[in-house]
């Protein structure tokens, strides 16, 4: 979602209402410092030009545009320490291009950017941008500032040692944590100053070429051990009234609120004023909402700096609230789906919230983050051979901005790798993906051994889509091994014409007016019934209903050209379509099929 820039001055003025004396003094101090920063930025860069990347709506999709052309991130994120030396960067980047990436996600480490307070070193940033240009890659930088996976491990030593000036968060029992306080103006100013100097350097060397296309602010923000900070200032703010800015947002967006937040507010009387517990109740999830508001406020201050210095899309990433964990057992208050309204209100200059996906349930997790007010981008995912089909799925099903496995430098760059072949095929069909995003005629498929089938209905035609191992003639389907995921993209080009691209899928086409026919599970390797005497016409009381049937007119394997046209490779028929019964792509293959249908009676 593209957000309107909100003046920090009016933002904090609104936040002052209904706060007690302690809160007012804190907010006033923050407002004054914000004004000073903005004036400095205006003087520093009063001729900033627009960068080469931005977000734009196409139908129901949000697309990333680079140089005014739709761009889908086929990315990979480097491991946490892999960009901390020039030698590693030079060794890794050529491999990334061979893997098939068009974008690399790279950490920028505060402790190495500002090793001594006020002394800045940008040589690693320069080397990343240089190597990206040499290998025809775009860069998404990840600012590892005050927090990385909740902890403050990437803050410089001078920051860590001066804990009185740069205070920590505390548990309920009073234990200090190696987590910088989100309520400290000193913490924010130090973090924001380093961020500002680093961005100003990037703007100086890159604003014309636009190698850097997005920025992630912080990394997997969240509280651990407790759902919120219990420092003195945090406790004072928790006892104060919920800021009127947030209350007005909830009222104005009531019908569109996330169901979890909406229900929590309703259960406590839809109050328009009161402290956090009076408005949301007394539990861990209220603690999480409170903490999310102040994390979002903090991030918004850095986002405003970015808007002034290097105006590219901005996002924050979240560690998942999975495995039945409670806030504080997972990183509480991060940019999670159920907190999206808190983050949207508190950090309006953040363009989207992005999930880091390492747990099972990929389909369910992605659905939580593809919302009308939040485009889907996956900056981290467990690196597996299945990543290619997962990328196909999110692009087809959710019009995603992009996909990025983690620790990509450890993946194989062999041309025979399933992941490499998947990215190569996606690069090839990209003109079709970008053309049809947001138009409602594209779907994604993702199958495994448990979830084998999905039925789509398109304008009177039923598509029965299955994992290819549901067919009887591949020995790998029954040899006892776990099925690899199969997936792909289906695009309806016209009422009787489709593109199917991916790996390990089979698709049948039927008239929706005809009752769904169950597949005979007892088929032999030839596709015929294994044993005779299974047919029984005696008990069939209904004759054929007279409806027309859908047949395969032709199935051609094709390549997709840069202009979106097709180059013919071969006609698939006979055994390759089960004598005209289906279109299929075997497990282990990545192909694109151009299917034309016809009707007959």
Q: What is the pLDDT of residues 326-345, one digit of tens each?
A: 999 999 999 999 999 999 99
Q: Please report, rounded to a whole number, the percentage of residues in the chain having pLDDT higher than 70.
A: 87
Question: Which of 358, 384, 390, 600 is CA-nearest to residue 504?
Answer: 390
DSSP letters for 77-126: EPPTTTTSSHHHHHHHHHHHHHHT-SEEEEEEEHHHH-SBTTB---HHHH
Structure tokens at 250: 């909830």
Which pLDDT band, with edges at 50, 70 and 90, does 369 fall under? very high
Would you say residue 47 has pLDDT above 60? no
Which pLDDT band, with edges at 50, 70 and 90, does 522 fall under? low
Section 178-200 average pLDDT:
98
> What DSSP character marks residue 76?
E
pTM of the model: 0.90
Section 544-558 average pLDDT:
91
Alpha-carbon torsion (503, 508, 513, 519), positive or negative: negative
Would you say residue 3 has pLDDT above 60? no
Average pLDDT, the chain: 91
Distance CA 447, CA 454 (A): 9
274: left (phi over 0), alpha (psi -120 to 50) or beta: left
Whether residue 492 contacts residue 475, with contact meaning beta carbons closer than 8 Å, is answered with no
pLDDT at 539: 54
In tens, the pLDDT along 139-187 reads 999 999 999 999 999 999 999 999 999 999 999 999 999 999 999 999 9
Which pLDDT band, with edges at 50, 70 and 90, does 513 fall under? confident
Q: Do domains 8-436 and 442-529+544-600 have the same CATH topology?
A: no
Domain extents in the chain: 8-436, 442-529+544-600
Q: Please report, rounded to a whole number, the percentage of residues in the chain having pLDDT higher than 90.
A: 83
DSSP E strand boundaries for 495-575 = 497-503, 505-511, 549-560, 566-572
Would you say residue 319 has pLDDT above 60? yes
Whether residue 102 contacts residue 415, with contact meaning beta carbons closer than 8 Å, is answered with no
pLDDT at 386: 86
In tens, the pLDDT along 270-300 reads 999 999 999 999 999 999 999 999 999 999 9
Strand partners, 595: 498, 555
Section 119-135 average pLDDT:
98
Q: Nearest 5°: CA angle at 107, between 188 and 364?
A: 95
Which pLDDT band, with edges at 50, 70 and 90, does 14 fall under? very low
* 238-272 burial code (b ≥16 CB/10 A, e <16): bebbbbbbbbebbeeeeeebbeebbebbeebeeee
| Helix/strand/coil for 9 | helix
Contacts of 348 (CB under 8 A, 6+ apart): 3, 4, 5, 6, 300
pLDDT at 515: 74
Distances (CA, A) of 269 to 15, 248, 272, 277: 22, 15, 9, 12
Structure tokens at 362: 């990929």
Would you say residue 7 has pLDDT above 70? no
Of 478 and 1, the structure prediction assigns the larger pLDDT to 478
**Residue whose entry in the numeric block shows the structure tokens 């999709």:** 61
Pairing label, strands 461-467, 486-494: unpaired
pLDDT at 561: 98
Whether residue 109 contacts residue 144, with contact meaning beta carbons closer than 8 Å, is answered with yes
Q: Nearest 5°: CA angle at 217, between 212 and 218?
A: 130
Which pLDDT band, with edges at 50, 70 and 90, does 378 fall under? very high
pLDDT at 212: 98
In tens, the pLDDT along 392-441 reads 999 999 999 999 999 999 999 999 999 999 999 999 999 999 999 999 99
For the structural domain made of 8-436, what CATH number should be given?
A: 3.20.20.80
In tens, the pLDDT along 236-264 reads 999 999 999 999 999 999 999 999 999 99
Structure tokens at 275: 């402290």
Intra-chain end-to-end CA distance of the chain, in Å: 48
Section 527-545 average pLDDT:
63
Alpha helices in 211-332 (DSSP H): 232-239, 244-252, 259-267, 276-280, 284-309
pLDDT at 407: 97
pLDDT at 475: 87
For the structural domain made of 442-529+544-600, what CATH number should be given?
A: 2.60.220.20
Section 558-574 average pLDDT:
97
Would you say residue 537 has pLDDT above 80? no
CA 326 to chain centre: 22
Distances (CA, A) of 313 to 64, 190, 212, 320, 514: 8, 23, 10, 22, 47
**Residue whose entry in the numeric block shows the structure tokens 């968060």:** 169
Of 212 and 17, the structure prediction assigns the larger pLDDT to 212
pLDDT at 521: 54
Distance CA 586, CA 588 (A): 6
Would you say residue 524 has pLDDT above 90? no
Would you say residue 530 has pLDDT above 80? no
Section 63-89 average pLDDT:
98
Distance CA 560, CA 358 (A): 32
Distance CA 437, CA 489 (A): 12
Which pLDDT band, with edges at 50, 70 and 90, does 540 fall under? low
């Amino acid at each position: 979602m593209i957000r309107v820039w909100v003046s920090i001055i009016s933002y904090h003025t609104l936040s002052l209402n209904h706060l007690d004396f302690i809160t007012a003094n804190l907010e006033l101090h923050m407002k004054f410092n914000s004004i000073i920063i903005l004036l400095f930025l205006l003087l520093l860069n009063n001729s900033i030009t627009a960068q080469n990347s931005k977000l734009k709506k196409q139908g129901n999709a949000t697309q990333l545009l680079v140089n005014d052309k739709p761009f889908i991130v086929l990315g990979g994120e480097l491991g946490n320490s892999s960009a901390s030396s020039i030698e590693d960067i030079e060794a890794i980047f050529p491999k990334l291009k061979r893997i098939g990436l068009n974008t690399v996600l790279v950490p920028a480490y505060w402790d190495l950017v500002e090793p001594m307070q006020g002394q800045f070193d940008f040589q690693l940033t320069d080397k990343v941008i240089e190597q990206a240009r040499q290998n025809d890659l775009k860069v998404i930088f990840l600012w590892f500032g005050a927090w990385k996976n909740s902890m403050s491990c990437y803050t410089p030593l001078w920051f860590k040692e001066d804990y009185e000036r740069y205070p920590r968060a505390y548990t309920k029992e009073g234990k200090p944590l190696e987590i910088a306080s989100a309520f400290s103006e000193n913490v924010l100013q130090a973090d924001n100053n380093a961020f500002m100097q680093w961005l100003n350097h990037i703007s100086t060397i890159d604003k014309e070429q636009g190698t850097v296309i997005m920025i992630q602010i912080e990394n997997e923000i969240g509280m651990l051990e407790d759902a919120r900070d219990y420092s003195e200032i945090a406790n004072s703010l928790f006892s104060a009234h919920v800021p009127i800015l947030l209350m007005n947002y909830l009222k104005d967006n009531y019908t569109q609120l996330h169901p979890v937040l909406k229900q929590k507010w309703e259960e406590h009387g839809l109050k328009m004023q009161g402290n956090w517990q009076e408005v949301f109740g007394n539990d861990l999830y209220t603690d999480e909402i409170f903490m999310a508001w102040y994390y979002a406020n903090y991030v918004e201050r850095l986002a405003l700096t970015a808007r002034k210095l290097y105006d590219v899309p901005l996002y924050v990433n979240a560690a998942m609230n999975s495995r039945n964990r409670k806030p504080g057992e997972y990183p509480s208050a991060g940019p999670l789906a159920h907190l999206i309204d808190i983050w949207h209100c508190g950090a309006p200059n953040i363009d989207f919230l992005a999930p880091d996906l390492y747990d099972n349930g990929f389909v369910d997790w992605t659905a939580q983050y593809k919302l009308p007010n939040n485009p889907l981008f996956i900056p981290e995912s467990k690196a597996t051979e299945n990543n290619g089909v997962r990328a196909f799925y999110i692009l087809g099903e959710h019009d995603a901005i992009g996909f990025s496995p983690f620790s990509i430098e450890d993946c194989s760059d062999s041309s025979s790798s399933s992941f490499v072949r998947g990215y190569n095929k996606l690069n090839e069909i990209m003109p079709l993906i970008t053309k049809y995003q947001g138009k409602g005629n594209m779907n994604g498929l993702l199958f495994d051994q448990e979830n084998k089938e999905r039925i789509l209905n398109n304008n009177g035609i039923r598509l029965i889509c299955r994992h290819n191992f549901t067919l009887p003639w591949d020995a790998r389907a029954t040899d006892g091994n776990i099925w690899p995921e199969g997936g792909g993209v289906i695009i309806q080009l016209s009422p009787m014409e489709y593109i199917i691209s991916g790996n390990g899928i089979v698709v049948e086409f039927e008239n929706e007016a005809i009752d769904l026919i169950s597949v005979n599970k007892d088929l032999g390797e030839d596709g015929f019934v294994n044993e005779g005497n299974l047919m029984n016409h005696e008990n069939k009381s209904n004759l054929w209903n007279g409806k027309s049937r859908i047949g395969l007119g032709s199935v051609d394997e094709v390549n997709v050209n840069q202009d979106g046209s097709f180059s013919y490779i071969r006609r698939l028929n006979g055994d390759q379509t089960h004598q005209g019964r289906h279109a299929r792509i075997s497990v282990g293959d990545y192909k694109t099929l151009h299917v034309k249908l016809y009707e007959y009676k």
